[in-house]
Amino acid sequence: MAEAVEHGQRQRFVAARPSTPSQHQRYERILNIATEMLRDGGEDALHMKSLPERADVSLATLYRYFPSKDHIMLAVAAYRLENAFFGVAHRQYPGDTVGERVAFFFLRSLAREQEQPQFSAAMHKGMATSDPELTEMVAYVREMIQSHIRSAAGPVTKQQELVIPVVMDIAHTAVLDSLSGRVSTEYATVRILLGSRLLDLDADVIDATWALTQKLPRKAGSSARPIQRRPARGRKGTYD
């Protein structure tokens, strides 16, 4: 199973990563079966006891790579994003501005996610986990989404780079609220359209807004600097 590590007063489990070809095959079999189960009925249909049998792996192997459901849902999200990136990177999105192209990207995503609301809700729930052991994976999934946004946007300025995570969070909550029935599709669409327009603000406005953050009080040791973008992982479907 996953390696147990002492951490303060509790024991945490560190998910293993596949390294050999046979391990990668087992890992991807688990992800493919998990995807099928999530498509069938969302998180409630993802059963940790039946998953190993369907994927032809042992229960120990499952928990070695995925200590919890959240681990699996995040890994499925990352797997789908990695495989989809190559298609997104070569697609031309309509729109005369960066904001219009990104809005089209998110509205297309909204329509697609509404076709499988339970599956989509499970993917979003994985990203919303508060498990500190999944912080790195959540950051990686967010970076993959931002890579998709950049591909849809086309060339962006350094100011627009600062705005992309903001627009992503606006669109993310709009989609999640729509999937849960808290807001209508029309209102979610308006939120996405308005949020995407932030990308078309003048560079001076974005710079001035960012400068305001330097004047805000913050905790010792915190930083207002943006997180540096990491390159997308090189090989399709790899995780280690």
Rg of the chain, C-alpha, whole Å: 19
Half-sphere CA count of 178, side-chain side, radius 13 A: 27
Which of 1, 65, 76 has the alpha carbon at shortest distance from 34?
76
Give pLDDT tens digits along the chain (240 positions): 444 333 343 334 457 788 889 999 999 999 999 999 999 999 999 999 999 999 999 999 999 999 989 999 999 999 888 888 767 767 889 999 999 999 999 999 999 999 999 999 888 888 888 888 889 989 999 999 999 999 999 999 999 999 999 999 999 999 999 998 999 999 999 999 999 999 999 999 999 998 988 887 776 555 555 544 444 443 333 333
Domain boundary among 36, 51, 67: 67
Q: How far apart are CA 203 and CA 226, in angstroms?
A: 16
Cα 196 versus chain centre, distance? 18
CATH code, 144: 1.10.357.10
Residues 84 and 129 in one domain: yes
**Which residue is associated with the tokens 């002492």?**
6
Last residue of one domain, picked from the residues 37, 67, 97: 67
What is the domain range of residue 167? 69-235
- Residue 158 in any domain: the answer is yes
| Residue 56 φ/ψ region, left for φ over 0, alpha for ψ in the -120 to 50 degree band, beta for the rest | left
Which residue type does 117 have? P
What pLDDT does residue 217 have? 79
Same domain, 60 and 82: no
The verdict on residue 240 lying in a domain is no
